[in-house]
Amino acid sequence: MLLDGKCVLITGGTGSLGKALTKRILTKELGTPRKIIIFSRDEAKQHAMRMEYQHRRVATDEVIYHNFEEMLEFRIGDVRDYHSVASAVQGADVIFNAAALKQVPSCEYFPYEAVRTNVEGPENIVRVIRELKVPVETVVGVSTDKACKPVNVMGMTKAIQERIFLSANITCPNTRFVCVRYGNVLASRGSVIPLFHDQIRHGGPVTITTEEMTRFLLSLDDAVDVIFGALSAARRGETFIPKAPAARVLDIARALIGHRPIEVKMVGIRPGEKIHEILISEEECHRSADRGQFYSIRPILPELDVEADMKPAFQGEYSSALNLLSPQETQELLSRHALLVTDRQNGEEELLR
């Protein structure tokens, strides 16, 4: 099993993805790790996560003092700080880099802050492995569809993260660096669904940027599946892509609203926002490959591309505008992921969360 006896480091481990990744690793579907290190800079989120996994409601001294003796270990630190990363990486066999600034408007207003987390953070991981010769087996960088043909700061910085990890396969030849790239994660912090839930809860209006806008949709478990798929099968320098459904954002809003008398209001595209997201660009499609449950993008560097003659999976870009779910299919998807629930008294769809 891939993680048997391994020390796993999850940067940004208290975020939505980090928590879902931790939960899945603890099911031991990839084996029983020796240690899981949750690395983040938010002590409150770490404390809450620690309490959850120790099934405690009140903190006691041994919660802190026995931290390093537990399989699930919590470390305060910041990927922006080289020394902090160096301390966390020591002894790690597998690293999942989920630390990120990911809200598009925030990154537009504070672009250098996005650079520090999304670019300097990955570079610090690579530097530690290279300069301190830490024998890390695999690093999985978590990216986004916004990194493909980026038009916003978040996507630009995530695109650079991909290239940092890609090139690290040459400068750190004993470590395999791979990436995953996926779209909107249903109900994750900062995504559109919690925003719609809040707007509906307060009586509306539900704000839509434009009627044509589409997005890829994945659950947190789908996102973890892509990460596990890359860990299991990706070759050095590859980027794994999910075979993901896509829907119009307007259809998502209408499914969540149901029969309630709530207005849908068009407010225009936000700074740095795309109408359609792309997971594989037309420039990358000739390097795309079908890997069964996933697609992969072979590395752009010739030293790493060992499958140059493989038949491409796409002849054009892989866009969220293609093969859209119908409104009914969108509603069924949201229901399947427990984002809608039927009220027994009046038959209306009510919010679960």
Q: Which residues are catalytic?
A: 146
Distance CA 305, CA 347 (A): 55
DSSP-derived pairing of the beta strands 239-242 and 176-182: parallel
Cα gap 194→186, rounded to integer Å:
9
User: What is the phi/psi pair of residue 56, to 5°?
Assistant: -115, 145
Burial class (CB in 10 A: 0-12, 13-18, 19+), 52: exposed
First and final C-alpha spacing in the chain = 36
d(CA 77, CA 91): 16
Which amino acid, residue 170? I
β partners of residue 247: 215
- Cα–Cα dist 229/291, whole Å: 10
CA distance 179 to 285: 16
Residue 57, token pair as written in the block: 């409601």
- Strand 35-40 vs strand 72-76: parallel, antiparallel, or unpaired? parallel
CA distances (Å), 342 to each of 99, 154, 203, 208, 290, in order? Answer: 36, 37, 18, 24, 38
Cα gap 84→78, rounded to integer Å: 6
